[in-house]
Structure 1
Amino acid sequence: MAELLIEGLTKRYGAINAVEDVSLHVADGEFVTLLGPSGCGKSTTLAAVAGLDRADQGRIAVGGTVYFDAARGIYLPPEARGCGLVFQSYALWPHMTVAENVGFPLTLRKVARAELRRRVEEVLALVEMERFAARYPHELSGGQQQRVALARTLVYQPAILLLDEPLSNLDAKLRDRARAWLGALRTRLKLTTIYVTHDQIEALSLSDRVVVMNGGRIAQIGPPQEIYEHPADPFVADFIGTTNFVPARLLADVAGGGRAQLELADGQRLEAHSERPARAGSRVTLAYRPEHMLPATAAMPEGSVLRTRITSRAYVGGLWQVGLDLAGSPLRLEARQPPMGDEFSLWLPHAGGILFPGAADVAA
Structure 2
Amino acid sequence: MADLTIQGLTKRFGGVTAVDDVNLHVADGEFVTLLGPSGCGKSTTLAAVAGLDRADGGRIQVGGTVYFDAARGIYLPPEARSCGLVFQSYALWPHMTVADNVAFPLTLRKVAAAERKRRIDEVLALVEMERYAGRYPHELSGGQQQRVALARTLVYRPAILLLDEPLSNLDAKLRDRARAWLAELRTRLGLTTIYVTHDQIEALSLSDRIVVMNGGRIAQIGTPQEIYERPADPFVADFIGTTNFLPARVVGDAPAGGRALLELADGQRLEAVAERAAPGGSRVTLAFRPEQMQVAPPGTAPEGGSVLATRVTSRSYVGGNWQVGLELAGAALRLEARQPPAEDRLDLWLPHAGGILFRGGADVAA
- Normalised by the length of structure 1, the TM-score is 0.99
Query: Which residue of 2 is the match for residue 152 of structure 1?
Result: 152
Distance in 2, Cα, partners of 1:45 & 1:89: 18
1:301 deviation in Å?
3.4
1:162 deviation in Å?
0.1
Instruction: Indicate which of 330, 335, 338 corresponds to 2:337.
Output: 335
1:292-324 CA-to-partner distances (Å, cap 9, x unmatched) read: 000013473310000000000000000000000
Distance in 1, Cα, partners of 2:43 & 2:241: 21
Q: What's the secondary structure of 1:242's corresponding residue?
A: coil
1:341 deviation in Å?
1.2
- RMSD (Å), alpha carbons: 0.8
Alignment of 1:36-55 (within 5 A): 36-55=36-55
Q: Unaligned regions of 5+ residues in structure 1, if any? A: none
Is residue 2:309 matched to residue 1:307?
yes
Distance in 2, Cα, partners of 1:276 & 1:347: 23
Alignment of 1:266-285 (within 5 A): 266-285=266-285
1:172-221 CA-to-partner distances (Å, cap 9, x unmatched) read: 00000000000000000000000000000000000000000000000000
Query: Which residue of 1 is the match for residue 326 of structure 2?
Result: 324
Distance in 1, Cα, partners of 2:304 & 2:329: 22
Change (3 A) 1:363 1:213: closer
Q: What's the secondary structure of 2:343's corresponding residue?
A: coil
Distance in 2, Cα, partners of 1:299 & 1:187: 47
1:264 deviation in Å?
0.1
Q: What's the secondary structure of 2:9's corresponding residue?
A: strand
Q: What's the secondary structure of 1:312's corresponding residue?
A: strand
Q: Unaligned regions of 5+ residues in structure 2, if any? A: none
Change (3 A) 1:363 1:160: closer
The answer as to whether partners of 2:40 and 2:216 remain within 8 angstroms in 1 is yes
Distance in 1, Cα, partners of 2:365 & 2:119: 48
1:42-82 CA-to-partner distances (Å, cap 9, x unmatched) read: 00000000000000000000000000000000000000001
Q: What's the secondary structure of 2:67's corresponding residue?
A: strand
Alignment of 1:154-233 (within 5 A): 154-233=154-233
Stretches of 4+ moved more than 6 A in 1? none
Query: Which residue of 2 is the match for residue 11 of structure 1?
Result: 11
1:196-251 CA-to-partner distances (Å, cap 9, x unmatched) read: 00000000000000000000000000000000000000000000000000100001
Distance in 2, Cα, partners of 1:75 & 1:280: 54
Distance in 1, Cα, partners of 2:307 & 2:117: 68
The answer as to whether partners of 2:239 and 2:365 remain within 8 angstroms in 1 is no
Query: Which residue of 2 is the match for residue 351 of structure 1?
Result: 353
Distance in 2, Cα, partners of 1:267 & 1:217: 38
Seq. identity, %? 82
Q: What's the secondary structure of 1:174's corresponding residue?
A: helix
Distance in 1, Cα, partners of 2:252 & 2:104: 68
Structure 2 residue identity aligned to 1:276: R
Distance in 2, Cα, partners of 1:42 & 1:326: 36
Distance in 2, Cα, partners of 1:58 & 1:190: 28
1:6 deviation in Å?
0.1
- Normalised by the length of structure 2, the TM-score is 0.99
Change (3 A) 1:23 1:363: closer
Alignment of 1:61-100 (within 5 A): 61-100=61-100
Distance in 1, Cα, partners of 2:90 & 2:302: 53
Is residue 2:129 matched to residue 1:129?
yes
Distance in 1, Cα, partners of 2:116 & 2:169: 30
Query: Which residue of 2 is the match for residue 27 of structure 1?
Result: 27
Size of the aligned set, in residue pairs, is 364
Q: What's the secondary structure of 1:201's corresponding residue?
A: helix
Q: What's the secondary structure of 2:119's corresponding residue?
A: helix
Query: Which residue of 1 is the match for residue 116 of structure 2?
Result: 116
Structure 2 residue identity aligned to 1:178: A
Query: Which residue of 2 is the match for residue 243 of structure 1?
Result: 243
Distance in 1, Cα, partners of 2:301 & 2:363: 36
